[in-house]
Amino acid sequence: MPAQAPTGAAVTVEITDDHVKKFREDGFVIVDRIIAPDAADEVAARYESLFAGKFETGLLPDEWNWKSGRDPADRTRQICNAWKSDRLIASVVLDAAVGKACATLGGWDGTRLSQDNVLWKPAGAKALGYHQDSSYELWADPPDWVSCWIALDDTTAEGGTVEYVRGSHRWRRWGMIEQFHAPTNYRKELAEAVADAGVDEPEIVKVVVPRGGGVFHNGWTWHGSGVNHSDRPRRSLVAHCMQAGTRFHPSVTGPIYSRYKRFGDLTMDESFFPVTWRETGARSAFIEPYLAGGTGWAGPLADSGPGAAGAS
C-alpha cells in the first residue's frame, strides 16, 4: 500500500535587503520565523523514528552518526541527508523558498542542496566543536555554502544553541577540526583562528529564537555549540546549500559524497544534489512527485523492506 504523503511544512521566510546586508557584513543573519511553530513540531516529532532506524522511504540516509545502544547518550545525534529517507524532512529542505533565500544571500542565480543535517542535542549533551562548514565541502567546486539552520525547539543561551563569531567568514580558510563531536574544549580551533586573524575579542553570538526561527550562515563563518545545560532537548534541521552550477572538484575526493560522481564527469546528478530554486523558476523535476508520494527510489513509493514506514 503506498505511503501517505506528509502534511508538509511550508517555508515562510522572506529575505530583505537588510538581511542581505547583515549576512554579508556578519557572515550570518538571524530570523525569527522560517517555518511555522506547528510545522516545527511536526518535523521534530519525526526524530524519534528516524534515530530508531525507521525510514519512511526505505532508504538509509548518507550518514547516521548516533545509534541507541552503540553511542553515548550524552552525544548530539546527527543524520545527514534524511531527505532521502523521509519526505517530511524533504518538504522543508527542498522547499523553493529555502533555495531562493540562500541564493539571495549568496548572490546566486540558482541553488542546489548539498546535504541536510538532522540534529538532536538532548538535555545534558556535550558540545559540537567550532568549525567552518565549507572546510568539509572541498570536494565541490566552488566549496561555498549558504546554510539554513532551523530551530525545532525554542532555543536558549544555556541550552546548547548554535553560536557564531561575527565577521569570521572574512578570516583565513581553515581545515577540518580535530574533534567535531564532544570535544573537551569546543572552542579550541576557534582560539587558534582568532589568534591567526589578529582579533583581540571575537564577538560570539548565541542564537536565541522561537521554534520555527533560525539563522542563515556563510559556509566560512566559524560556529559551534556548547553543552546543553537545560532540561530540554535542542533539535534543529539544517539545509546546506550551494550554487546550482557547482561541480565536483577535479582532484579532491570527499570520502562520502564523491561516491555520487560519475567517472569522467564533474557534473552533479540532480537525483542526489537537487536544484531547489532558479531565477527561471526551474527546479529538479522529481521533487514535486517525490514529495507527493508519486515516485520514490524504486518507482512508486510503497511500504516494503526493513525500516519502511509501518514495518515491524
pLDDT tens, position by position, for the chain (312 residues)? 334 444 556 798 999 999 999 999 999 999 999 999 999 999 999 999 999 999 999 999 999 999 999 999 999 999 999 999 999 999 999 999 999 999 999 999 999 999 999 999 999 999 999 999 999 999 999 999 999 999 999 999 999 999 999 999 999 999 999 999 999 999 999 999 999 999 999 999 999 999 999 999 999 999 999 999 999 999 999 999 999 999 999 999 999 999 999 999 999 999 999 999 999 999 999 999 999 988 888 766 544 344 433 332
Largest CA distance in the chain: 62
Task: Look at residue 215 in the predicted model and tell me its pLDDT.
Answer: 98
Beta bridge partners of residue 146, listed in sequence order: 218, 241
Task: Look at residue 295 in the predicted model and tell me its pLDDT.
Answer: 87
Which positions ≥6 away from 56 have C-beta within 8 Å? 3, 85, 86, 87, 88, 308, 309
Distance CA 281, CA 111 (A): 11
**What letter does residue 86 receive in the DSSP assignment?**
-
Distance CA 196, CA 163 (A): 20
Tell me, what amino acid is at 162? V
Q: Is 270 exposed, middle or buried (0-12, 13-18, 19+ CB in 10 A)?
A: middle
Task: Look at residue 294 in the predicted model and tell me its pLDDT.
Answer: 86
Task: Look at residue 9 in the predicted model and tell me its pLDDT.
Answer: 64
Which domains can be identified in the chain, with CATH numbers? 17-292 (2.60.120.620)
C-beta pairs of 31-35 under 8 Å, 24+ apart in sequence: 31/209, 31/213, 31/214, 31/215, 31/216, 32/209, 32/210, 32/213, 33/210, 33/212, 33/213, 34/98, 34/148, 34/150, 34/212, 34/213, 34/214, 35/9, 35/10, 35/11, 35/92, 35/150, 35/212
Distance CA 252, CA 138 (A): 7
Distance CA 117, CA 125 (A): 17
Residues 68/111, Cβ–Cβ less than 8 Å: no
Q: What are phi and psi of 78, to 5 degrees?
A: -140, 135
Which positions ≥6 away from 44 have C-beta within 8 Å? 152, 153, 211, 235
